[in-house]
Amino acid sequence: MAADSVLIDRFGRVATDLRISLTDRCSLRCTYCMPAEGLDWLPRAELLTDDEIVTLAGVFVGCGVTSIRLTGGEPLLHRTLAEIVSRLAQFSPRPELSLTTNGVGLVDKAEGLVAAGLDRVNVSVDTLQPERFLALTRRNRLADVLAGVAAAAAAGLSPVKINAVLMRGSNFDEAPALLDWALRQGYRLRFIEHMPLDAQQAWNREVMVSAEEILELLGRSYSLLPIGHGPDGSAPAEDFEILDGPGRAHWAAAGHERPRVGIIASVTRPFCRDCDRLRLTSDGQLRTCLFARDETDLRGPLRAGASVAELTELITVAVAGKQSGHGIGSGSFQQPLRPMSAIGG
């Protein structure tokens, strides 16, 4: 826990990880995330300016936040992304800075982002088959994405993390091939269970591929040893060391740390009890849970001249009221009104 952390909730969880969504717009249209025609994007006047993002981020860092992830929508669409990274990198204490991106255009931006202070990157790659990529994202950009991943690794953002959402009847069968590819390239792969956060509200438990099913499929060609949720237990991914299987020898030969694969099983194995995350939307709303149905407006008070102390108070109160868990599967669960792309994944 940061020495001056004030972000503690009723259940004793301390928030140290802030995700900032820079935009709700996107260069892809992943079927599990948004409809083909896109969404009604947030009006520009409602979006936080760069100065507002930096000011609010500074308040969070003052409250004990130690890592900031920039996401979206697609954060690479934000024209001044590198400037924002560089300004966040000047905070003291300096937070760890990371990016979650679909990789489109990353090939031209990776080096500049590292120079600006970016520490880590997660790139979403759900398939390595061009036709599937087109069907899944409704855009023909796989080559661009793979070039972006390679550029990120070459720029020193290693190991690059890869996020993959598996969908039954689509890319589920590709899980072992994705892992083989990631091991050969030196990327760290994490599978994410599909969550009820799609804009179409079409999520269906029958279509979702569960952690258990992923492990069963991987287990046909890999020997996996469960090693837990990161060093402090708060990482959302449950990690498995790869003792044997395709691509493993390649990884070992490259001299990387122990090869592993992660599974983020938010639906079937929720990690809410250890959640240390907060989210700031691109229109300045604080969300204490991906699945929260309420938000705390920080943009309004900021624009009205609230002091750092007043903003800190708003954030502290919001965090104190963080819900215990998402409750997916309970009879009372209701999908949040904002889709994932407008919350910041």
State the minimum distance, in angstroms, from the CB of residue 26 to ligand SF4: 3
Our measurement of the distance from residue 157's CA atom to the centroid of its chain's CA atoms, rounded to an integer in Å, reads 16
Q: Report the candidate in 181, 194, 149, 263 with the shortest Cα–Cα distance to residue 30.
A: 194
> From CA 304, how far away is CA 291, in angstroms rounded?
28
Contact range with ligand SAM by CB under 6 A, out of 55-63, 100-108, 269-277, 298-306: 100-108
The DSSP output letter for 273 is G
Select the binding partner of residue 23 from ligand SF4, ligand SAM, none (C-beta < 5 to 8 A, by kind). Answer: none
Taking the least distance from each CB to ligand SF4, the nearer of 35 and 246 is 35
Helix locations, the chain, DSSP H: 50-62, 81-88, 106-116, 130-137, 142-154, 175-185, 211-219, 248-253, 299-303, 308-320, 340-343
Q: What are phi and psi of 320, to 5 degrees?
A: -55, -35
Taking the least distance from each CB to ligand SF4, the nearer of 266 and 341 is 341
Among 194, 248, 260, 322, binds ligand SAM (CB under 6 A): 194
> From CA 319, how far away is CA 164, in angstroms rounded?
29
Question: Is position 197 an interface residue for ligand SF4 (rule: CB under 6 A)?
Answer: no
According to CB under 6 A, which residues from 20 to 39 bind ligand SF4? 26, 28-30, 33-34
What is the number of the residue whose Cβ is closest to ligand SAM?
A: 345
Among 58, 62, 64, 72, binds ligand SAM (CB under 6 A): 72
* 3-state SS assignment for residue 324: coil
Strand partners, 287: 279
Pair 42, 284: CB distance under 8 Å:
no
State the minimum distance, in angstroms, from the CB of residue 111 to ligand SF4: 22
Taking the least distance from each CB to ligand SAM, the nearer of 167 and 314 is 167
Select the binding partner of residue 191 from ligand SF4, ligand SAM, none (C-beta < 5 to 8 A, by kind). Answer: none
Q: Report the candidate in 183, 280, 192 with the shortest Cα–Cα distance to residue 236.
A: 192
State the minimum distance, in angstroms, from the CB of residue 170 to ligand SAM: 13
Question: Per-residue contact track with ligand SAM, 109 to 148, x per CB under 6 A?
Answer: ---------------x------------------------
Taking the least distance from each CB to ligand SF4, the nearer of 183 and 263 is 263
What are the residues whose beta carbons fall under 8 Å from the beta carbon of 222, sequence distance 6 or more?
176, 179, 242, 244, 245, 246, 248, 261
Helix locations, 17-125, DSSP H: 50-62, 81-88, 106-116
Strand partners, 122: 100, 161
Strand partners, 69: 19, 98
Q: Report the candidate in 162, 165, 137 with the shortest Cα–Cα distance to residue 149.
A: 162
Pair 29, 35: CB distance under 8 Å:
yes
Among 9, 17, 24, 74, binds ligand SAM (CB under 6 A): 74
Question: Per-residue contact track with ligand SF4, 45 to 84, x per CB under 6 A?
Answer: ---------------------------xxx----------
**Binding positions for ligand SAM, rule: CB under 6 A:** 26, 32-33, 71-72, 74, 100-102, 124, 163, 165, 192, 194-195, 197-198, 340-341, 345
Residue ranges binding ligand SF4 (CB under 6 A): 26, 28-30, 33-34, 72-74, 102, 124, 341
